[in-house]
């Protein structure tokens, strides 16, 4: 099994990459941050890494093509933003949607293109968020971007299921990644969210390594 993990400085994708490698998968990890990739490579030398700006459409496509053939894709790149509608600017919009939506669509298209060329089945998992389903205060852009991920996932599943290509989204609530800590370490923000979680706690980590 050959898999590609697309992640961005967050431990969800990193944890998935490590666990897949431990299960014997050939893993390629893409990230915009070289330091994150170097740390991953030091921990798991068998994982191949490529440092690429995921918002660069052409560079990302070329990086992925070097990894062909690919049977499994995990899209876990994501950025967050706590803004109200009246705080939204074009720049803030582009930052969120370029990573959370544009990059995901580009990577998915490139991988499916290879699967179709090989007439091979495949599996794609998109890391979305509960914010796509349940409204959160001051998450205007983030919620909209993750709702786009869910809608995209459903549409692609309908189009390519007949080809044996499965695509699903996973919608976690709060995971204390570096990104999660930035937003949920503040008790004022965290308490209303915790009240909605039956266990009254967040996920402390993704995988034990």
- Give the residue with greater pLDDT, 111 vs 14: 111
34 catalytic? Reply is: no
In a domain, 199, yes or no: no
In a domain, 203, yes or no: no
**DSSP calls for 41-72:** HHH-TTSEEEE--TT-HHHHHHHHHTT-S--E
**73: buried, middle or exposed (CB in 10 Å: 19+, 13-18, 0-12)?**
buried
In a domain, 21, yes or no: yes
In a domain, 188, yes or no: no
Question: 3, 49 in Cβ contact below 8 A?
Answer: no
Residue ranges making up the domain that contains 92: 2-175
Q: Which of 93, 119, 146, 196 is catalytic?
A: 146
In a domain, 17, yes or no: yes
Mean pLDDT of 81-100: 93
Whose tokens are 């786009």? That residue is: 148
Say what the pLDDT of residue 125 is: 95
Evaluate if residue 83 carries a pLDDT over 50. yes
142 catalytic? Reply is: yes
- Count: domains in the chain: 1
Helix, strand or coil for residue 199? coil
In a domain, 12, yes or no: yes
**pLDDT tens, position by position, 104-162:** 999 999 999 999 999 999 999 999 988 889 887 888 999 999 999 999 999 999 999 99
Evaluate if residue 206 carries a pLDDT over 60. no
Q: Which of 41, 61, 65, 142 is catalytic?
A: 142
In a domain, 157, yes or no: yes
What residues contact 165, with CB distance under 8 A and at least 6 apart? 112, 115, 121, 122, 123, 124
Q: What is the CATH number of the domain that holds 58?
A: 3.40.50.720
In a domain, 185, yes or no: no
Question: 72, 122 in Cβ contact below 8 A?
Answer: yes
Confidence band, pLDDT 50/70/90 cuts, at residue 184: low
What residues contact 76, with CB distance under 8 A and at least 6 apart? 5, 6, 7, 8, 10, 12, 13, 16, 127
Say what the pLDDT of residue 209 is: 43
């Amino acid at each position: 099994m050959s898999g590609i993990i697309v992640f961005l400085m967050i431990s969800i994708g990193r944890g998935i990459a490590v666990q897949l490698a431990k299960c014997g998968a050939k893993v390629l990890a893409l990230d915009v941050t070289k330091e994150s990739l170097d740390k991953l490579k030091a921990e798991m030398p068998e994982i191949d890494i490529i440092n690429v700006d995921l918002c660069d459409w052409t560079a990302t496509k070329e990086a992925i093509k070097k990894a062909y053939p690919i049977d499994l894709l995990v899209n876990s790149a994501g950025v967050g933003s706590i803004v109200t509608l009246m705080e939204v600017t074009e720049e803030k919009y582009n930052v969120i949607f370029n990573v959370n939506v544009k990059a995901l669509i580009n990577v998915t298209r490139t991988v499916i293109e290879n699967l179709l060329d090989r007439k091979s089945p495949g599996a794609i998992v998109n890391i979305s968020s509960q914010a796509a389903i349940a409204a959160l205060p001051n998450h205007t852009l983030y919620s909209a971007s993750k709702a786009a991920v869910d809608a995209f996932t459903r549409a692609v599943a309908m189009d390519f299921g007949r080809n044996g290509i499965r695509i699903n989204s996973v919608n976690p609530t709060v995971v204390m990644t570096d990104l999660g800590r930035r937003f949920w370490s503040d008790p004022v923000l965290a308490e209303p969210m915790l009240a909605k979680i039956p266990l009254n706690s967040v996920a402390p980590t993704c995988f034990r390594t």
